[in-house]
Structure 1
Amino acid sequence: MIGISEIASAAELIAGHVVRTPTVPSPGLTSLLGAPVTAKLELLQRTGSFKARGATAKLLSLSGAERAAGVVAVSGGNHGIALAVTAAGLDVKATVVMPRTAPARSVEIVREAGASVRLTDGMDSAFRLVTVLRDEGLILVHPFDDPVVIAGQGTVGVELAEDAGELTDVLVSIGGGGLIAGVAAALRALRPGVRVWGVETEGAEAMSAALRAGGPVPVEVSSLVSTLSAPSVAQLTYDHVAALVEGVLVVPDRDAVQGCLDLAEHAKVWAEPAAGCLLPAARQVLARVGAGARLGLVVCGGNTTPAELAGLAGRFGLW
């Protein structure tokens, strides 16, 4: 299990390389949800998502020989962007394996940063290919199955604990579980009374399936939210969620897209569906915990274009 000492070490390592993102009360979301809401705006992080934290921590932890070998990662978008940009700044050669369903702009950003992009037909095949490339000698920077990466993501939780007012419940999106594992570990140490809730979209339910099965299992991915679409979680992330998280909520893709529109209108932030899913999940949390809740939302990323979000909104008849 990742502890606060590992997260503190990661915070020291990445200081000066990442942004201490704003943690702000949101009057608009408070009015919309009917309970006090504080937003941790990780969409304002370098590369547009929290992923810069874990990628930076991992790259800075590598030896000179490991950096010289080059790094490889699998990504539905944000991890690849974070790795490509961070690796370029450290003069490390990077390869990113992405499914063809990844947002076109994300693929473009990875290439513009100088990384080599390998496209596959889906996330399952992307994970298989990255394993082959690792075995050929590249250093794997896993998006979630790595204690250094998780500790880096846990710095989000440290900042939230230090900067937010009183909170009762914190909501965190789940793909492979690296962010929620780190945030939950930090909050257990610094705000032990706070409940942490995970959020998945329908068709990207790797953690929910693992909790039902008692451990990681492969799942069929069908969600349109590519940045949450891990084909399975890791034992490491599962262990943290099973021990530290109150529950995992699942929302439809349509509601996640509506959440993006609500965040734009009521919170004045431009978020991707992986963050938009927090709003419908917040309503579920409020229904469960009742009066007196004070919510924290980790708005994990904003890497979506107006055309992409408009296309999704149109698909679901939301405008």
Structure 2
Amino acid sequence: MIGISDVEAAAGLIAGHVVHTPTVPSPGLSDLLGVPVTAKLELLQRTGSFKARGATAKLLSLTAAQRAAGVVAVSGGNHGIALAMTAAGLDVKATVVMPRSAPAHAVEIAREAGASVRLTDDMDGAFSLVTRLRDEGLTLVHPFDDPLVVAGQGTVGLEFAEDAGDLTDVLVSVGGGGLIAGVAVALRARRPGVRIWGVETEGAEAMSAALAAGGPVPVPLSSIVSTLSAPSASRLTYDHVAALVDDVLVVPDREAVRGVLDLAEHAKLWTEPAAGALLPAARRIAERGGEGTRLGLVVCGGNATTSDVGRWAADFGLR
């Protein structure tokens, strides 16, 4: 388990390398949900998502020999973008392994940043290839199973705690669990009374399955939300979520896509389904909590193209 001192150290390490993103009240979302809503806008990171924080913390911790040998990562999209762009800025050679289901624009961005991109048939194959490349001498920058990466992601929670007004509940999207683990460490230290909720999509339920089983288990992946599609949680992230998070809610892909459209219309934010999934979950929390509920949403990323969203909306019969 990492502690608040680890998150604070990561904040000092990455300062000047990542954006201290805005934390803003959202009148549009407040009207939509019927309770006050504050949004932490991680989609405004240079890489389009919070992933820049953990990647930067890890790369800045490397020895000269590790930097010279290069790094490797597995990604459903955002982690690969973040690693590729961050490594380019620090003159570190990067290899990114992605499943073929990863968004085409994520593959393109990683390649344009100078990373070597390797594609596999599925996420299980991606993790297997990364393991082989790590054994060949590359340093693994894991998307969530690394205390330095979790501490880096935790700086989101540190900033949220410092910048937001009074909150009763904070919702965080969950893939492998690195973001919610780090955010929970920061919020439990700085806002101990706040309830913390994870949000997954159906067919990408690594953390809720782990909580039900009492530890990480493999899960079948079928969600369209590739950025949340981890084949399992890690012991590191599971331990943090089990100890610090109130619960993990699961929403259908269709509602996550509807959330993307609602965020665009009501919050004027262009997001991806991993962030869109927060809205249906937020409705549940608002209904449970009733009057006095004050929601905080970690808007984790915006790396979706207009054609992506248009296709998903058409597939689900959404306007």
- For the aligned pair, the TM-score class normalised by the smaller chain equals over 0.9
Taking the aligned partners of 1:89 and 1:268, their CA distance within structure 2 comes to 30
Q: What number of residue pairs does the alignment pair up?
A: 319
Correspondence for 1:44: 44
Taking the aligned partners of 1:288 and 1:52, their CA distance within structure 2 comes to 34
**Equivalent runs, 1:168-207 vs 2, <5 Å:** 168-207=168-207
Amino acid at match of 1:117: V
Amino acid at match of 1:161: A
Correspondence for 1:56: 56
Taking the aligned partners of 2:274 and 2:196, their CA distance within structure 1 comes to 17
**Equivalent runs, 1:111-130 vs 2, <5 Å:** 111-130=111-130
**Equivalent runs, 1:282-297 vs 2, <5 Å:** 282-297=282-297
Q: CA deviation at 1:285?
A: 1.2
3-state SS in 2 of match to 1:249: strand
3-state SS in 2 of match to 1:87: helix
Amino acid at match of 1:241: V
Unaligned runs of 5+ in 1: none
Correspondence for 2:300: 300
Q: CA deviation at 1:121?
A: 0.6
**What does the per-residue CA deviation read over 1:183-228, in whole Å, with 9 as the maximum and x for residues that have no partner?**
0000000000001000000000000100000000000000000000
| Equivalent pair of 2:34/2:286 in contact (CA under 8 Å) | no
Taking the aligned partners of 1:290 and 1:150, their CA distance within structure 2 comes to 32
Taking the aligned partners of 1:213 and 1:290, their CA distance within structure 2 comes to 31
Correspondence for 1:81: 81
Taking the aligned partners of 1:98 and 1:175, their CA distance within structure 2 comes to 15
Q: CA deviation at 1:284?
A: 1.3
Unaligned runs of 5+ in 2: none
Correspondence for 1:24: 24
Correspondence for 2:103: 103
Do residues 239 (structure 1) and 239 (structure 2) align? Answer: yes
Correspondence for 2:34: 34
Correspondence for 2:11: 11
Amino acid at match of 1:120: T
Taking the aligned partners of 2:46 and 2:62, their CA distance within structure 1 comes to 20
3-state SS in 2 of match to 1:8: helix
3-state SS in 2 of match to 1:144: coil
Correspondence for 1:277: 277
Q: CA deviation at 1:304?
A: 0.4
**What does the per-residue CA deviation read over 1:231-254, in whole Å, with 9 as the maximum and x for residues that have no partner?**
000000000000000000000000
Correspondence for 1:214: 214
Correspondence for 2:134: 134
Correspondence for 2:248: 248
Q: CA deviation at 1:288?
A: 2.5
Taking the aligned partners of 1:176 and 1:188, their CA distance within structure 2 comes to 20
- The CA RMSD measured in Å over matched residues stands at 0.5
Amino acid at match of 2:118: R
Greater mean deviation of Cα atoms: 108-117 or 283-292: 283-292
Taking the aligned partners of 2:45 and 2:189, their CA distance within structure 1 comes to 24
Q: CA deviation at 1:287?
A: 2.5
Correspondence for 1:2: 2
Amino acid at match of 2:207: M
Q: CA deviation at 1:292?
A: 1.0
**What does the per-residue CA deviation read over 1:58-101, in whole Å, with 9 as the maximum and x for residues that have no partner?**
00011111111100000000000000000001111000000000
Correspondence for 1:230: 230
Taking the aligned partners of 1:149 and 1:290, their CA distance within structure 2 comes to 35
Amino acid at match of 2:131: T
Taking the aligned partners of 2:134 and 2:220, their CA distance within structure 1 comes to 24
Amino acid at match of 2:108: E
Correspondence for 2:167: 167
Taking the aligned partners of 2:289 and 2:131, their CA distance within structure 1 comes to 42
Amino acid at match of 2:75: S
Taking the aligned partners of 1:9 and 1:75, their CA distance within structure 2 comes to 25
Taking the aligned partners of 2:112 and 2:251, their CA distance within structure 1 comes to 33
3-state SS in 1 of match to 2:47: helix
Amino acid at match of 1:65: A
Taking the aligned partners of 1:293 and 1:3, their CA distance within structure 2 comes to 28
Normalising by structure 1, we get a TM-score of 0.99
Taking the aligned partners of 1:129 and 1:291, their CA distance within structure 2 comes to 50
Amino acid at match of 1:196: I
Taking the aligned partners of 1:155 and 1:129, their CA distance within structure 2 comes to 30
Do residues 265 (structure 1) and 265 (structure 2) align? Answer: yes
